[in-house]
Amino acid sequence: MSDLSRFGISIDERLLRRFDALIGKKGYVNRSEAIRDLIRGALVEEDWGDDDRETVATVTLVYDHHTRDLSDKLTEQQHSHHREIISTLHIHLDARHCLEVVVIKGQASRVKRLADELIGTKGVKHGKLVTSTTGQNLL
């Protein structure tokens, strides 16, 4: 592990009060830890622009499996990318609704395209991509 640096931030007092309230509520032990997390989050989003880097991502989908051909289409799309998709967790929310979490690993641009395809499938009620990294680049 490398050395610690220290630097100062100037900030509007009211903004700081709201931030302190937020991090208190979120359970952080101090401002440094909270800000380091914000910085890591920003770096993770940025990595994402870097198109041939290996990334890992999750896609959360909610849909009604009674929608004509929808399950079949989602299954077909996922199988045609079986090398990138590590696994899919399926929760049967009720008699109709499914929550599916698809874990994808691969080149950022391909992962993004696959996520867009899944989320954009007609009938998917809610879809959200969370991009992360494979961990080695974060400190």
Residue 78 in contact with its own copies, rule: CB under 8 A: yes
- Nearest residue to 103 (alpha-carbon basis) of 91, 118, 88: 88
Residue 109 in contact with its own copies, rule: CB under 8 A: no
- Min dist. Cβ of residue 108 to its own copies (A): 15
Residue 116 in contact with its own copies, rule: CB under 8 A: yes
Of 53, 107, 110, 119, which one interacts with its own copies (CB under 8 A)? 119
Contacts (CB under 8 A) with its own copies, residues 5-44: 5-16, 18-19, 22, 25-29, 31-44
Residues 126, 62 contacting (CB under 8 angstroms): yes
Of 48, 50, 51, 89, which one interacts with its own copies (CB under 8 A)? 89
Integer angstrom CA distances of residue 75 from 65, 68, 100: 12, 13, 11
d(CA 131, CA 48): 7
- Nearest residue to 101 (alpha-carbon basis) of 135, 133, 128: 128
- Min dist. Cβ of residue 70 to its own copies (A): 10
